[in-house]
Amino acid sequence: MISKLGFGKWALPLYAIIALTFLMIPIAYTFIFSFNDSLKTNIVWRGFTFNKWLDVCNQQEVCEAFGNSLIIGVTATVCATILGTMIAIALVRYRFRFRSAISLLLFLPMATPEVVLGAGLASEFLTAGVDKGMVTIIIAHTMFCVSFVVVTVKARVSTLDPALEEAGRDLYGSPNQVFWRITFPLLLPGIIAAALLSFALSFDDFIITYFNSGTTNTFPKYVYVSAARGIPAEANVIASAVFFLAIILVLISQVSSAIRRKRLEKVS
């Protein structure tokens, strides 16, 4: 009995370590080979160098694809966040016809396979005679990111206490003043979380982008095409930098939350 309890005590931590190690192996490989002194391919280790980090745009296609992904990700995120926030507020605060149907339809892009979404959008653009490029990618990304924004912000709106807004109106605040000074600051954490999620989904997307990009190249698309001959070390540099930047942002967010929590505890 004791041995069984002992095994159960260590099984979950051991499983977590194994799973984390398995997930970190590709990231570690990407980071290590960003220092590879590669020439045409980046499959075989040829020696250690900092040149790939110091001159990351030596492969012009890498920087161009990365820049396109940033532009698309930021634009789609802004559009999806604005539309999704308005839709979330409307679904929670107002009653109108087909409200339930709209809520159900918003989940379809999340549940539909990306191959189906990408092929369907490509057919629509072809039927409408729209040339595929950066604009069509932004439209496609905005479409599937809106659903994630609505779900995230909707959960935040549901937790708001209407009494706070009523208090603002009782103090003769106009609807705009109540929204920008009370409602929006309370919704801001959820909106930021939705925007970060939207940007991550847009920046990382390949399947929908591949169907609707035409000749426009994005970073995931470039990596996929280059994988057969070995992804250039410059692409590994950008991927590693994005990974560490995300880690730093998460750490800053956690530290800021901890500091804010301690200050509130001292005040209370």
Q: What residues form DSSP beta bridges with 36?
A: 48
In CATH, the number for domain 60-231 is 1.10.3720.10
What are φ and ψ of residue 195, in 5° steps?
A: -65, -40
pLDDT at 5 > cutoff 70: no
List, as one string, the DSSP characters of 165-178: HHHHHHTT--HHHH
Measure CA 113 to chain center.
18
pLDDT at 190 > cutoff 70: yes
Average pLDDT over residues 218-241: 84
More confident residue, 230 or 31: 31
Q: Are 85 and 194 in contact (CB under 8 A)?
A: yes
Confidence at 250, pLDDT banded by 50, 70, 90: confident
pLDDT at 215 > cutoff 80: yes
**pLDDT at 186 (0 to 100):** 86
Amino acid at 193: A
**pLDDT at 137 (0 to 100):** 95
Q: Which tokens is 164 given?
A: 């706070």
**pLDDT at 175 (0 to 100):** 81
Q: Are 211 and 118 in contact (CB under 8 A)?
A: yes
Mean pLDDT across the chain:
86
- Would you say the C-alpha torsion 63, 65, 71, 76 has a positive or negative sign? negative
Separation between Cα atoms, residue 196 and residue 246, nearest integer Å? 10
Confidence at 3, pLDDT banded by 50, 70, 90: low
Q: Considering the chain, tell me which residue range(s) the CATH 1.10.3720.10 domain(s) occupy.
A: 60-231
Q: Which tokens is 249 given?
A: 């942002």
Residue with tokens 């040339």: 131
Most confident by average pLDDT, 146-155, 164-173, 259-268: 146-155
pLDDT at 60 > cutoff 70: yes
Confidence at 104, pLDDT banded by 50, 70, 90: confident
- Pick from 143, 120, 125: nearest CA to 202: 143
The pTM (predicted TM-score) of the whole model is: 0.82
Long-range contacts of 98-107 (CB under 8 A, 24+ apart): 106/146, 106/147, 106/150, 106/151, 107/147, 107/151
